[in-house]
Amino acid sequence: MNTTVRNLLLPIAIAAAVAACSKPAEPAASAAATAEAAVAAPVEAAPAAEAITAVSGTYQLDPTHTDVLAQWTHFGFSQPSAHFGISEGTLVYDAADVTKSSVQVSMPITGIDTFVDKLDEHLQSAEFFDAGKFPNATYKSTSVAAAGTNKLTVSGELTIKDITKPVTLEVTLNGAGEHAMLKKQAIGFSATATIKRSDFGVGAYAPNVSDEVQLRITTEGTVADAAADAVPAQG
């Protein structure tokens, strides 16, 4: 190849090399722009919870659909639980002004169920609940307040072994309306709370067996004296 031809081809080769090197950068720039756009895009807020429509009245809580589940830690290794049912319970619900609502329940200690017979017997013994002497625990509300859509804060007094202490429940209204089978107005709640068992004279083996006990509650009931019109639950 003579010098003249080489001098003509050299600029063309350089231009081609520059063009080839510049092409891969285009997808990277495009990807960066896409990522930046994704970050800048607004995140859609979750839809607000819809207020459940409830009916004011006095509800009788259903023992067959009420569960008080207590859970604790055992030497830091496991988390046993115990089921407490109720023998009876009454809820007065005022949908127009939830502060006028109230609840009270009675829980038979003899009905405690841990799914372990020997543990049931131990918990009912004098070392713990002394069920022979104190056969029932009770809870009675002292105030109710709205805490958001379908949310309530219920303050009350829990009595175990004739020892009464304040306990606050964080409550969620699960649903309300006519019961499909009973054809009566029904209402249902879930609730959580934390208590110290030593406050009620059942603190044996703490802290190896945790003093704090987590409570999870679910219940439903039906009303006989429902108001004529349903009112959206406050909060």
CATH of domain 53-232: 2.40.128.110
Per-residue pLDDT of 50-75, as tens digits, reads 999 899 999 999 999 999 999 999 99
* 191: nearest Cα among 92, 93, 69: 69
Please compute the mean of the pLDDT values over residues 178-198 and round it to a whole number: 96
| Helices vs strands, H then E, count in the chain | 3, 12
229: pLDDT confidence band, cut at 50, 70 and 90? Answer: very low
Helical H segments across 2-107, by residue range: 3-22, 25-40
pLDDT at residue 139, rounded to an integer? 98
5: pLDDT confidence band, cut at 50, 70 and 90? Answer: very low
Per-residue pLDDT of 168-178, as tens digits, reads 999 999 999 99
Instruction: Kindly list the domain boundaries of the chain, sorted by start residue.
Output: 3-40, 53-232
